[in-house]
Copies of this chain bind each other. A is one copy, B any other.
Amino acid sequence: MSPRKIQILQQASALMRTKGYASTTVRDIANSLNIEASSLYNHISSKEEILETICASLANQFESGILEINDIYFNAKEKLKMAIESHIRILTQDLNASYVFIHEWRNLGENALNEFVRRRDLYEKEFRDILYLGEKEGTFTDVDEKFVVITILSSLNSTIEWYKPNGQLSPKDVSNKLSDFILNGLLNSQA
């Protein structure tokens, strides 16, 4: 991928984060790079290709992250913590792209959309496997895995709504907070 194309994807992510995919025009993107809209087409084949590239790139990262963790032998609690950490590390690496990934994937064309959903289901399945393991071990309470996985992932994804890359908290700090919340809940166990 050429440096210029990377630059285009970054500008596009930033715009789509605030305006959404559909409301971001190729002229907007071109404008932010101080070139004409038609010049973009020396680097991309269509507007949708931008969205596909952003979404596929993040999907790749999430997928290889969870597969690596589930390939090694660990107990469920450790695996879940690692999965959360991997998810947050990827999310916080490029907030603009993450935002587009999470909120704009519905705008993908039919084929890319089907592929996206397929891969998301796979990712959720890997998380469910961790929960199954935890119940078998007796570490986790009996839960509705499908429900809990969606709830957990939604909690993790909410990070992009408030996280500041140059703020006090490192990605690791954030995943620690989330792991604590997800594992222990709000109630004070001392009381």
Contacts and interface: CB of A to CB of B under 8 A. Distances in A.
Task: Give the number of copies in the complex.
Answer: 2
A185 interface: yes
Given A147-B177, A181-B151, A188 B23 contact: no
Interface in A54-93: 77, 80
B20 A141 contact: no
Task: Give the secondary structure class of A's interface.
Answer: helix
A184 B183 CA distance: 8
A99 to B, nearest CB: 11
A131 B188 CA distance: 12
A143 B188 CA distance: 11
A147 B123 CA distance: 25
A22 interface: yes
21 contacts: A19-B106, A20-B20, A22-B23, A131-B186, A134-B186, A138-B191, A139-B187, A140-B186, A140-B187, A141-B184, A141-B187, A143-B186, A146-B162, A148-B186, A150-B161, A151-B178, A154-B158, A154-B161, A155-B155, A181-B185, A184-B185
